[in-house]
Amino acid sequence: MDDLTRREFFRRTAFGILPALALPRLVYASFPSTSTDIEVETAFGKLLGSRTEGVNIFKGVPYAGSVSGERRFLTPAPLKPWTGVRKVKRLGHPSIQAPNQTYGINEPDPAEDCLTLNIWTPANDNKKRPVMVYSHGGGYTHGSAGSVAQDGANLARMYDVVVVATNHRLGLLGYLYLDEIAGDEYAGSGNRGVQDIAIALKWVNENISAFGGDPNNVMIFGESGGGLKTSCLYAMPEAAPYFHKASIESGPGVMMKTADVAAETTELLLKQLGIARNDWRKLLKLPPSVLLDAQEQLQKMGDLSQIAGFHGIGAAGKGGFGPVVDGVVLPTHPFDPVAPSLSKEKPLLVGWNEDEFIFFAMFSGDTEAFQLTEEKLHQRIESILGDKARLVVDTYREAYPKATPTQLFIAIRSILIMGLGSITIAERKTQQEGAPAYLYNFGYKSDLKVPGTDYEFGSMHAMDIPFKFHNIDNVLDKTGHRSSGMAGNRPERFAASNNMCQLWTSFARKSIPSAKGQPAWPPYNLSTRPLMRIDTQCSVIYDRYKTVLKMWREILN
């Protein structure tokens, strides 16, 4: 392949991220259990959920009104109170998206009106439990709150927390920037997707006491696209009053899209649809399927660049849809040039999985990546970094002398797409001298093999999801037997999951992550740079990436 410019490297690095952030399609199944009805009173009316295996579950709970028809691209209509008892035992509609990108059991089809949430709680007993509000992955275009891997029942039951997950607008329905052509009513339209989550947080603040949760102790967290959304929420004035700590997982959103790039994307969309600028209101009448098709065409033909490396992966470029630094909903980049002042006193977890890139190579069908020769390694790194490739490979070879060419390739690509941005966030949060930041690597290795190879999943992208929700033993394999899905079959996976769940729920409870029998996790600092490696036995590693980080700063800054 030809030598690429730095801009083209960023474009190609990100191109593989946008369509691939959803979880792989696994064969999930529910298992028989006895359930009883459970009723709760909210500010809007009574809800009827179910109590199953020691957890009260409420699915498809509305947190805002319509976002379709004349409300498209606007803030949601107010949620209207109802009379009687509203049954909430089925997942809500995911946002409009391409087929087969959600992973819930008996999940309805995507729909434009999608603003619902799911709640898992040990009891509706007015006890003040920590509340953990999760934003799903899938970039800004795919996914839902219903994925089995992120089901909150086990986390609520085993660790005495309240878990909430939201559906919110995705793609151009959530992120089409109309501020410059549609008037004041549409100010902030480029951030409706993350604004929906902020509105859900307000609902949580006003109602979660009835579910045994503490509205004054709310943690927001999310993986991949959910990490990017969490990065934005951390910097949003509208969200600030309603959460108290955060975790950004394999989705370091240091920077987001600028308004000028967002405006160019809007012009491209109008051109794609044959709509004149002053006729933009025609967008309100088009079927969602037409808009979705136009969105996908733009993603194929447009500049899908994201700013990678030290700037994270959040800034979807021209032709893509994602949050916009608009000065309204999102006043600044989340972590550039500094961490947001409005969250200075809110503790933060941030990190990534050791082998992130295995996921992206696997789902792009790149089996060659798992059997590289030294020559092929050099060719691939040269194709993305040009004349810097030899320095990069030599530095990594010195740092990891026993690694195979494939292992070096995965290490290089993984830190580029997730690691450098995560470290930058930890550094800039620490430089504020406010609440602490905690940096981590998820390191447990799944023994499942990449199809068509003898290479294991390792700690690939999305591998942490079932571990932090303790959902590592809840799927059926192709023969109909109960299996662990991505987590693999090693019995020690349960210990790794318990460690991660303890670290996350203790952070939610008291803002200090800890796990029984594991080392104390020091806050990040700019001297010793401690990092917690999460596995069956966790370990604190100081300045883990010292050698390679110095090199990356020299060639990317």
Rounded Cα distance between 538 and 252, Å, is: 22
- The DSSP annotation for 195-228 comes to HHHHHHHHHHHHHGGGGTEEEEEEEEEEETHHHH
Alpha-carbon Rg of the chain, whole angstroms?
22
Return the bridge partners of 532, or none: 440, 540
| Cα dist from 206 to 165, 215, 216, 233, 291, whole Å | 16, 7, 10, 18, 34
Rounded Cα distance between 228 and 211, Å, is: 28
User: pLDDT at position 300, please?
Assistant: 83
Backbone φ, ψ for residue 365 (5° rounding): 75, 20
User: pLDDT at position 393, please?
Assistant: 98
User: pLDDT at position 483, please?
Assistant: 56
Chunked mean pLDDT (size 10), the chain, 557 residues: 32 34 41 83 98 97 97 97 98 96 94 98 96 97 96 98 98 97 96 98 98 98 98 98 98 96 96 97 97 93 54 75 96 98 98 98 96 97 95 97 98 97 98 98 97 97 97 62 76 97 98 98 98 98 97 92
Rounded Cα distance between 186 and 195, Å, is: 13
Instruction: Please state the separation of Cα 135 from the chain's center in Å.
Output: 6
Residue in 100, 113, 83, 180 with CA at minimum distance from that of residue 142: 100
Q: Parse the chain into domains and list their residue ranges.
A: 1-557
Contact 452, 459 (CB under 8 A): no
Token couple for 485 = 């899905």
User: pLDDT at position 299, please?
Assistant: 86
Rounded Cα distance between 350 and 335, Å, is: 12
Contact 541, 531 (CB under 8 A): yes
Token couple for 167 = 């559906």
- Residue 119 backbone class (left: φ over 0; alpha: ψ -120 to 50; beta: rest): beta
One-letter amino acid at 101 equals Q
Return the bridge partners of 542, or none: 530
Token couple for 400 = 């990891």
Rounded Cα distance between 146 and 253, Å, is: 24
Contact 22, 101 (CB under 8 A): yes
Residue with tokens 């240091």: 254
**Superfamily name with CATH number, domain 1-557:** Alpha/Beta hydrolase fold, catalytic domain (3.40.50.1820)
Residue with tokens 């030598």: 3
Collapsing DSSP to helix, strand or coil, 171 comes out as helix
Contact 247, 221 (CB under 8 A): yes
Instruction: Please state the separation of Cα 325 from the chain's center in Å.
Output: 19
Token couple for 491 = 């019995």
Rounded Cα distance between 384 and 119, Å, is: 44
Collapsing DSSP to helix, strand or coil, 424 comes out as helix
What residues act catalytically?
224
Most distant CA pair in the chain: distance in Å? 69
Q: What is the pLDDT of residues 376-389, one digit of tens each?
A: 999 999 999 999 99
User: pLDDT at position 17, please?
Assistant: 36
Q: What is the pLDDT of residues 2-30, one digit of tens each?
A: 333 333 333 333 323 333 333 344 444 44
Secondary structure of 257-319 in the HEC alphabet? EEHHHHHHHHHHHHHHHCCCHHHHHHHHCCCHHHHHHHHHHHHHHCCCCCCCHHHCCCCCCCC
